[in-house]
Structure 1
Amino acid sequence: MQDIMLLIQDPTAWVALVTLVVMEVVLGIDNLIFISILTNKLPPEHRDKARKIGIGLALVMRLGLLGTVAWIVQLTNPVFEVFGHPFSWKDMILIAGGLFLLYKATKEIHHSVDPIDHKDDMVGAGEKVVQITFAAAITQILILDLVFSIDSIITAVGMTPHLPIMIVAVVAAVTVMLLAANPLANFIEKNPTIVMLALGFLLMIGATLIAEGFGVHVPKGYIYAAMAFSALVEILNMVSRNAKKKKKSSDQTLH
């Protein structure tokens, strides 16, 4: 308790907390995009529940991993070498997670651009059959939660040695994810072009995870700057399309 009071009175601790919260929120964007795309494949009545469970599992997993910080740190120790390059458990987890993201994003892009191959998924008057079960969605979310949680905790350990700061930062970041989950998922669902952009983000994130696993450091700032620029361009395209629709509707009304 005394240690916590000392942290509260320490300005550097507050700076570390704010910095770590921002970092955790930014790192959580990747996870949130994946959860949004995956849960949108469920029936509407199950989507909100799946998002809450998925994000809740992320919180439980990260808090659980914080309780084993000493073990998490050891995940960065080399386990074996291939052609002189050392690989740790962290590296292998990042590579596996990156490959999983590449597979999922590529599969979803193929489904979007070549729907003929998926005509068996169609019933009735163009209605789609549910493409994924609730259990399958939660399982896949859990896999990515593990990958992103380990990356998140290792980042937190590198920024501050104080466990209370890490716990508060993780809870704050996951709370932001929980609040943003439904609006982001609804926005993605209502704008098909955003889905393709988000899948492109997942491809880039997957490739980045694999690169990190092989020891090639990719500055996160470049990744998120590219994502922000792409999102801005797409938003401008959406504004342009809406303006054209309004103009066309206005012209038809006048005639």
Structure 2
Amino acid sequence: MDSIMVLLADPAAWAALITLVVLEVVLGIDNLIFISILSNKLPEHQQQKARRIGIGLALVMRLALLSIIAWIVGLTQVVFDLGLTGPVNEHGQPAFETAFSWRDLILIAGGLFLVWKATKEIHHTVDPTPTEDVFDTSKATLSFGSAIFQIILLDMVFSIDSILTAVGMTEHLPIMVVAVITAVIVMLLAADPLANFIKRNPTVVMLALGFLLMIGVVLIADGFGVHVPKGYIYAAMAFSAMVEGLNMMSRRRQQSRAAPKE
């Protein structure tokens, strides 16, 4: 209790908490987009339940990982080294790593899964079966168990990334716990509005799948030691979303002008 009171009186702790909350919320966007796309493929009466379970599992995993934080930090230790000499960058450093930790392997596996899933969904959208309308979100195309299983897999990847980010920001466990819980509450509040927005605007699905494809590639690159600044990634996502928003406004105005007037 005394340590918590000391943290409450420390301005640096509050600054770390605010910064970490923002980072955790931003990192949670990736997780939320994936959950929203998967849940919209379920029967309508199961969609909200799947989102609640998915976000609840994300919270449980993050808190569980915080409880074994020493083990999580140990995931960054090198497991094996291929010993290869790859190309070097302009600073004379290797362009990618050949020594891999468990964190690297998990990120690579999660990235490959995201790339596979996003590519599969993009192909399904671009080349559907002749009798299928890919923009009809009222039809279930995924079983509840399959959706939850896929959500669990990505929850694990995003949770490890989230906790390692928290460890890099602060050494105080209470700050990490508060930041993680706050971020998951924001995800919980945003889950239904985001999923409903995607459902009302089916063409946004392609943009979201593009985001997931890019995130998957970034996770793979991170696993190989090629660190792409997250600010660039989210700036590109925000710009793409803004352009799509302008396209949606343009389409709606054209539809309203073309509608017959009474």
The TM tier, using the shorter chain, reads over 0.9
What residue identity is the alignment partner of 1:98? Answer: G
> Where does 1:90-101 land on structure 2 (aligned, <5 Å)?
90-101=103-114
Answer yes or no: is 1:235 the counterpart of 2:245.
yes
Q: Distance in 1 between matches of 2:111 and 2:209?
A: 13
CA deviation after TM superposition for structure 1 residue 253, in Å: 1.6
Q: Distance in 1 between matches of 2:242 and 2:219?
A: 24
Do the aligned partners of residues 232 and 128 (structure 1) sit closer, same or farther apart at CA in structure 2, a change above 3 Å counting?
Answer: closer
List per-residue Cα deviations over 1:38-75 (Å, max 9, x = no partner). 00000000000000000000000000000011100010
SS at match of 1:100: helix
2:121 to 108, 128, 153: 108
Q: Distance in 1 between matches of 2:49 and 2:138?
A: 21
2:217 to 196, 200, 207: 207
What residue identity is the alignment partner of 2:78? Answer: P
Match of 1:156 in 2: 166
SS at match of 1:116: coil
What residue identity is the alignment partner of 2:99? Answer: P
Match of 1:136 in 2: 146
Match of 1:28 in 2: 28
CA deviation after TM superposition for structure 1 residue 146, in Å: 0.3
CA deviation after TM superposition for structure 1 residue 160, in Å: 0.2
> Where does 1:221-232 land on structure 2 (aligned, <5 Å)?
221-232=231-242
Answer yes or no: is 1:247 the counterpart of 2:257.
yes
Question: Following superposition, which runs of at least 4 residues in structure 1 exceed 6 angstroms of deviation?
Answer: none
SS at match of 1:76: coil
Q: Distance in 1 between matches of 2:137 and 2:49?
A: 23
SS at match of 1:253: coil
SS at match of 2:99: strand
What residue identity is the alignment partner of 1:226? Answer: A
What residue identity is the alignment partner of 1:46? Answer: Q
Moved more, 126-135 or 22-31: 126-135
Match of 1:76 in 2: 76
Q: Distance in 1 between matches of 2:198 and 2:218?
A: 23
Match of 2:5 in 1: 5
SS at match of 1:192: coil
Alignment check: 8 A CA contact 2:44 2:138 kept: no
CA deviation after TM superposition for structure 1 residue 128, in Å: 7.1
Moved more, 204-213 or 128-137: 128-137
Q: Distance in 2 between matches of 1:15 and 1:214?
A: 32
Q: Distance in 2 between matches of 1:141 and 1:114?
A: 25
| Structure 1 unaligned regions, length at least 5 | none
Alignment check: 8 A CA contact 2:41 2:139 kept: no
Q: Distance in 1 between matches of 2:113 and 2:146?
A: 14
Aligned residues: 247
CA deviation after TM superposition for structure 1 residue 130, in Å: 2.5
CA deviation after TM superposition for structure 1 residue 217, in Å: 0.4
Q: Distance in 2 between matches of 1:59 and 1:232?
A: 30
| Structure 2 unaligned regions, length at least 5 | 85-97
1:89 to 89, 96, 102: 102
Match of 2:88 in 1: none
Q: CA RMSD in A?
A: 1.5
Q: Distance in 2 between matches of 1:128 and 1:20?
A: 38
SS at match of 2:203: helix
Do the aligned partners of residues 185 and 127 (structure 1) sit closer, same or farther apart at CA in structure 2, a change above 3 Å counting?
Answer: closer
Alignment check: 8 A CA contact 2:43 2:138 kept: no
CA deviation after TM superposition for structure 1 residue 82, in Å: 1.8
User: With structure 1 as the length reference, what TM-score do the two structures score?
Assistant: 0.94
